[in-house]
């Protein structure tokens, strides 16, 4: 894939072992480090099956974001995904077209420019067009393991962004938190601000979620199964992404 770039950032695929190590180090800082200056690598067996995408600062070459994608020919391969370790995805076995799982998405905590996320979605748009994927899915992570801190956000997801019954993931993990209803009079706009930026992007494109959060003690996060059917992405957003993707 030719590089994508916008403003101060560029996006490219990992080209070898050094690139993969850099991505794993950034993932460690974002998901596993328990203090400043703690270094290491976040790695698992799925890394060898995935395509890894890097987002870098154009002038310095510094890695500011990364993610990995797993392309599946259809829902019949859903058991290969990372998400299937935590959710019963048997309903998605009936999804007929290609799918892409987005995983380990992270941005350097010192970086917050919106172009990083926009560039990531442009790169995903290229992969969707190249594979003909009809569904993007993955686990959206909430920091920490305190479900009460996100009670309003989880309630909004339950009431306004529930997955269609035919695709809804079932319970598999031993530690979950079901979503309660949204209290009357809650400020939906304020509640959305409590959600991770990646999840907000999914929802803005017509995405949907499962009905519970999984407590992931390995990563120290809670995650929510998230999907977006490509054909349901609003036309204006799809055009904007494809313009950026070139």
Q: What is the pLDDT of residues 48-106, one digit of tens each?
A: 999 999 999 999 999 999 999 999 999 999 999 999 999 999 999 999 999 999 999 99
pTM exceeds cut of 0.85: yes
Confidence bin at 191 (pLDDT 50/70/90) = confident
DSSP string, the chain: ---EEETTEEEEE--SHHHHHHHHHHHHHHHT--STT-------GGGGGSEEEEEEETTT--EEEEEEEEEESSGGGGGGSSGGGTEE-GGGGG--S-EEEEEEEEE-TT---HHHHHHHHHHHHHHHHHHT-SEEEEEEEEESS-GGGGHHHHHHHHHHSBPPTTT--EE-SSSEEEPPPPPTT--HHHHHTTS-HHHHHHHHTT-EEEEEEEEETTTTEEEEEEEEEGGGS-HHHHHHHHHHH-
Report whether pLDDT(1) > 70: no
Q: What is the pLDDT of residues 8-37, one digit of tens each?
A: 999 999 999 999 999 999 999 999 877 677
How far is 170 from 210, CA to CA, in rounded Å?
8
Report whether pLDDT(121) > 90: yes
What share of the chain has pLDDT > 70, as a percent? 98
Domain ranges of the chain: 4-245
Report whether pLDDT(133) > 80: yes
Place domain 4-245 in its CATH homologous superfamily.
Gcn5-related N-acetyltransferase (GNAT) (3.40.630.30)
Confidence bin at 194 (pLDDT 50/70/90) = confident
What share of the chain has pLDDT > 90, as a percent? 81
**Residue 204 pLDDT:** 92
103 DSSP β-pair partners: 68
**Residue 3 pLDDT:** 76
226 DSSP β-pair partners: 138, 209
For strand 87-88 and strand 170-171, is the pairing parallel, antiparallel, or unpaired?
antiparallel
């Amino acid at each position: 894939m030719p590089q994508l770039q916008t403003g101060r950032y560029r996006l490219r695929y990992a080209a070898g072992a050094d690139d993969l190590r850099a991505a794993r180090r950034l993932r460690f800082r974002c998901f596993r480090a328990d203090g400043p200056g703690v270094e290491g690598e976040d790695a698992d067996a799925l890394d060898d099956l995935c395509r890894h995408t890097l987002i870098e600062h154009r002038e310095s070459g510094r890695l500011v974001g990364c993610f990995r994608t797993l392309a599946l020919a259809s829902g019949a391969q859903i058991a290969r995904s990372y998400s299937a370790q935590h959710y019963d995805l048997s309903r998605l076995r009936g999804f007929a077209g290609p799918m892409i799982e987005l995983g380990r998405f992270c941005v350097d905590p010192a970086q917050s420019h919106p172009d990083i996320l926009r560039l990531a979605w442009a790169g995903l748009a290229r992969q969707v067009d190249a594979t003909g994927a009809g569904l993007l899915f993955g686990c959206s992570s909430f920091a920490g393991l305190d479900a009460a801190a996100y009670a309003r956000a989880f309630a909004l997801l339950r009431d306004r962004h529930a997955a269609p019954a035919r695709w809804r993931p079932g319970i598999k993990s031993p530690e979950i938190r079901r979503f309660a209803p949204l209290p009357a009079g809650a400020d939906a706009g304020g509640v959305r601000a409590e959600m991770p930026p990646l999840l907000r992007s999914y929802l803005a494109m017509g995405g949907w979620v499962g009905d519970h959060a999984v407590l992931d003690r390995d990563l120290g996060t809670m995650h929510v199964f998230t999907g977006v059917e490509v054909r349901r992405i609003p036309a204006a957003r799809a055009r904007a992404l494809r313009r950026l993707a070139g």
